[in-house]
Homo-oligomer: A and B are copies of this chain.
């Protein structure tokens, strides 16, 4: 983080025709982008939503409202441009990079990035979701996808995901890192019934009891109760930070990946921009743990990167603010008493 650029950005913000600090989080984002890019008037060029897709063995415990076949079906929808994230990314002028990091079946499309580590995780209610090496390989997969996008000119990344069952894995990760009762950490995901919610709680409890994930070892948590797409996004976030590229964090699953990334490398948090807080009760808890302030409160629970794509507009807007507003001096406006 370039502290000089942050100071210059602050100086310019305070010269603009508005009460000091009155743009709130917009000003925080300007300073963050300045610190990351080294420019007091930061510019955002190409934006890319990286979507990691994978399946979860724990779905056999009846934890999801949708069947597992929806994972590859929705990935094909992403590749064909018909999903919510396609519409929102298009509207925000962003690209999508979609990666199979562990879908349970094989699918094929010219634009699909294939980094498959495994055909879905194993059922974490019965043992580790994956081996430690598989988790590391999935992180490396995410690093390679993000690095390729950055080499290809992306200056702002966002995280997105698809994986039936992945709110269960994300809740389990949060449970492993927090001392809160499970009931406060779990939610209805894509819309499971009250009965399914209780199956979800039981499955997570079993996964924690059997695997005993060690909160002092983030990779231990990730491989035992995480997911391949979560590991892929952990890599995506770490790569963004390593290349000094800001990364917009989407919803609950993306934030679980951000939590792991932040535990592995606390400095990575400085590169994260929280987009929204979802309906999933654990999401705001995770954001608090990371010290991130979400901009959008939309009661969304979709994932895919949709909240992050909405936040792209706000981030674009702040760069215009810093570049285009008049100063007190240039506009002849009096300052405060």
Contact = CB atoms under 8 A, between A and B. Distances in A.
Interface residues of A, number: 63
B302 A22 contact: yes
A22 B191 contact: yes
Interface stretch (A31-39, A74-82, A130-138): A74-82
Contact of A84 (B16, B21, B73, B83): B16
A212 B314 CA distance: 42
Contacts of A294: 297
B297 A82 contact: no
A209 interface: no
* Copies assembled: 2
A334 interface: yes
A321 to B, nearest CB: 5
A74 B17 CA distance: 8
Given A24-B279, A331-B73, A82 B336 contact: no
A63 to B, nearest CB: 12
A237 to B, nearest CB: 23
Interface in A31-77: 65-67, 69-70, 73-74, 76-77
Contacts of A19: 65-66, 190-191, 301-302
Contact of A321 (B87, B317, B331): B87
Given A18-B84, A82-B326, A295-B298, 13 more contacts: A19-B190, A19-B191, A19-B301, A22-B302, A23-B300, A73-B331, A82-B325, A84-B321, A87-B321, A88-B317, A90-B320, A293-B297, A296-B297
